[in-house]
Chains A and B, each alone.
Chain A
Amino acid sequence: MQSTPSAPPQPLTRVLVIGREFPALVLLLLLAVVLTLGSPAFRSPGNLLAVGFDTSVIGIMACGEAVVLIVGGIDLSIASILVLSAGGTALALVAGWPLPLALAAGLFLGATAGLLNGLLVSMLRLPPIVVTLATLGLYRAALTLMTNAQEIGPLAPPFTSMGFGLFPLAVLLLVTVGLSTFMTRSAPGRRLYALGGNEEACRVSGVPVRRLKPLAYGISGVCASVAGFLLAASSGAMQSKAALGYELDVIAACVIGGVSIRGGQGSIVGAVLGAMLLRLLNNALLLFNIPVDWYRMVIAGVLLLAAIGDRLAQRKAEAA
């Protein structure tokens, strides 16, 4: 049981200067400067918008994952929830549902899938890694069966216009600010931090642990469906093989951005910074003609370095 006190909410400026998000922020700025100076192709509006889109999808998912990590859990099924909920919305659109209703259906699917994870974890006290490993397979298989493994589409405007221009970045900004405010300024959000810091202490001091934990997973599910809308809108279709392996990018973004895998520490803003850093790294590989096969190797390396750095810093803090 982790006994460190939960991180108190801090003003954004102080968090960024001295907080756990600092390494990601410095690396991000450094990489941005190198890319801006070193590659004219990087500065082209088309490239910047493409990076912005990728960052939005991974960043929105990372916001949700961060909430789950903060309560001391993990959600490996996040990419499968994305596919299931965006697939549901796409099916509804193809069937001729009005746009708001189709979006609501997708959000409902995402929230339900997330809540189901959370209920299994909190009500039955099952390990989150195993529950979400199982639902990672289940949710994707569910969409495959619903669609006979066929692509759902083509999708038409106005839905598809959500995937272009600055709209994805606006959604990312909205989710980041909204969720960040919720986590640091609202009572339930602060309780989620406390829960990740010391679950036993929360339980004995009357925090409704069993009701709060599913909330975190539900938020993660909703974030995944929002990211799924953007992905489906930009590709004009959805299929059960989309977003394969995104859970790696998302969890890595969180850890690199300073969200502790042990719970209770880190921030939504950090997770988004981590997502930006990873997508910029991906763009750098592309611009410098390094085969994309290397990308996951790079994520793996950065993820390990972040985890090692966090561990060494923790040891130092314990020794002091």
Chain B
Amino acid sequence: MTLRIPREAGVIVALTVVVAYFSWRAPQFATPDNLLTAARQYAEVALIATGMTLVILTGGIDLSVGSTAGLAGMAAGLLALRAPSPLLFALLSAVGIGLLIGGLNGGLIGGLRLSPVIVTLATWAGARSLAYVLTHGDPVSGLPDPVIALADTWVAGYVPATAILAGAVAVAASLALRRTAYGRSLIAQGQNERAALFSGIPVGRLGVSVYTLTGALAGLAGLLIAARAETAVPDAGMGLEFEVITAVVLGGTRIDGGYASVLGTILGVATLGLLHNGCNLLGIDSTWQTLAIGFLLLGAVILDSRVGNS
């Protein structure tokens, strides 16, 4: 049975329920202060989720994003403490590591046509392992002020700059999908890879590009996570892939590719972020939050399989 409703309907319902419930139960929930704090906390997830949307659009998946963020945060933290220009080196190393891991994923998946699950499971393990190897598992604390300022800059006094950055990346990705040949090719590849290949779309290179982009965004997010915590820890971003994939599928992007909604993804991240935020305000244990997100992911993917393209 196929229903003709917009694929973003599910996430709009979920977000409405979350907002309504917590506004009712927690008085401090629906205040600008709290919402902006939540936006700052989930800007990193939003950055990665935007990249993951493109990966899933092409019919792939990237399990390595959380580990990439963890490794990038550690490497950037270590370098920032030693380099003459901490901010520049932190940014270069975080994004560079993301590009390297993403490029490796993309090269093996897009170029050599290996299974995305196996490749990104390997980089998931490898990157996390390296993050621990760098300091034998110790945190990197005392990050220089310019690095901390990355996550502690407020536009017009109260809007977190990282949230604006995440929003800008999402808008750019959304426009690229709808308005550019590149975006159209990604959609074509996701809908029918063979047909796309035969109509001259460079399927392999597109694959390389989405994983590389997602890696770079994960690297940047890792630096922002470390900056927000003012400390880089080797287990930062652990389990992030679970949240990011949930946000993307909840947002209406087809899990087997061919349809993507960046707006839906951002609403998905907002749903998860506000769910965590509200639960924390009410003192609900994190295990219940994991349980809720697990059910959200299952619900989203069941909905995904029942609702057609529109």
Contacts and interface: CB of A to CB of B under 8 A. Distances in A.
A140 B291 CA distance: 9
Contacts of B130: 297
Contacts, number: 120
B109 to A, nearest CB: 10
Given A133-B297, A307-B115, A297 B305 contact: no
B287 interface: yes
B245 A138 contact: no
A304 B302 contact: no
B122 A129 contact: no
A291 B126 contact: no
A304 B129 contact: no
B256 interface: yes
A97 interface: no
Contact of A130 (B132, B249, B287): B249
B245 A130 contact: yes
Interface residues of B, number: 42
B301 interface: yes
Contacts of A134: 246, 294-295, 297-298, 301
Contacts of B302: 120, 124, 126
Interface string B274-296: 00000000000001101101110
Contact of B125 (A120, A142, A144, A299): A299
Chain A: number of interface residues, binned into ranges: 35 or more
Contacts of B125: 245, 248, 296-297, 299-300, 303
B122 A304 contact: yes
A303 B118 contact: yes
B118 A293 contact: no
A295 interface: yes
B117 interface: yes
A118 to B, nearest CB: 14
B291 A308 contact: no
Nearest to A149: B287
Contact of A301 (B61, B126, B128, B305): B126
Given A133-B242, A133-B245, A141-B294, A297 B133 contact: yes
Given A127-B256, A303-B122, A311 B305 contact: no
Contacts of A74: 117
B290 A297 contact: no
Interface string B91-129: 000000000000000001000111101110111111011
Interface string A110-147: 00000000001000111101110111111011101100
Given A252-B122, A307-B114, A307-B122, 11 more contacts: A74-B117, A130-B249, A130-B255, A134-B301, A136-B242, A140-B290, A255-B118, A294-B129, A297-B133, A300-B123, A300-B124
Interface of B: 61, 108, 112-115, 117-119, 121-126, 128-130, 132-133, 136-137, 239, 241-242, 245-246, 249, 255-256, 287-288, 290-291, 293-295, 297-298, 301-302, 305
Interface of A: 74, 120, 124-127, 129-131, 133-138, 140-142, 144-145, 149, 245, 248, 251-252, 255, 261-262, 291, 293-297, 299-301, 303-304, 307-308, 311
9 contacts: A130-B245, A130-B255, A137-B291, A141-B294, A294-B133, A297-B130, A303-B121, A307-B115, A311-B114
